[in-house]
Amino acid sequence: MSAVNLTNVAVLDNPAGFLNPFRFEISYECLNPLNDGSADDDTYDQLLESVLVGPVNVGNYRFADPPDPSKIREEDIIGVTVLLLTCSYLGQEFVRVGYYVHNGYDDEKLKEEPPQKVLIDRVQRNILTDKPRVTKFLINFHPETNEDGGNPPPPGHPTEAN
């Protein structure tokens, strides 16, 4: 059983300009006290925000910066990509929420006749919030009380997916 349950992820300011910061409101419940906490080619993946919380209390948080377009191949800016929110405790991922994101021009003429070079200030992102993909992983939230010497379940072991 998980000591922390993600109860809601609200995507705010959606759709938004590509260069606007991402805005989320994440709600979770902590069931037990916790004292400590912390595309084809992943070369282009970017960590947009990392929030360390501890001790863990019930709360809502908002973040993150937009991606840096200079770190994305220009041919990959327009189209569909993925946004992943991951939650970890003591280096163990316990939930992952994935969204498809569509990046496209905000003007019909630009959509029909895209320019040779991407006009990043005219790109709008739309996070497809209606069907997030949620995966939960079994982890050991209290390694100090684990009977098998404190070893968590194997990493990447999902418990359910929606």
pLDDT digits (tens, 9 = 90+) for 60-91: 555 567 788 888 889 999 999 999 988 888 88
What whole-number distance in Å separates Cα of residue 3 and Cα of residue 95? 12
The one-letter amino acid code at 110 reads L
Handedness of CA 135, 137, 62, 44 (dihedral sign): negative
Exposure b/e, 112-123, CB count within 10 A at least 16 = b = eeeeeebeeeeb
> How many beta carbons lie within 10 A of that of residue 138, not counting itself?
14
Q: What is the pTM of this model?
A: 0.70
CATH of the domain at 129: 2.60.40.1490
For residue 35, give its domain range: 4-161
Number of domains in the chain: 1
Task: Determine how many CB atoms are found less than 10 A away from the CB of residue 85.
Answer: 21
- Taken as a whole, the chain contains a residue count of 162
| Number of neighbours of residue 12 by Cβ within 10 angstroms | 12
pLDDT by residue (tens digit) across 5-53?
888 888 888 999 999 988 888 887 777 776 654 455 667 776 666 665 5
3-class DSSP state of 109: helix
pLDDT tens, residue by residue, 119-128 = 999 999 999 9
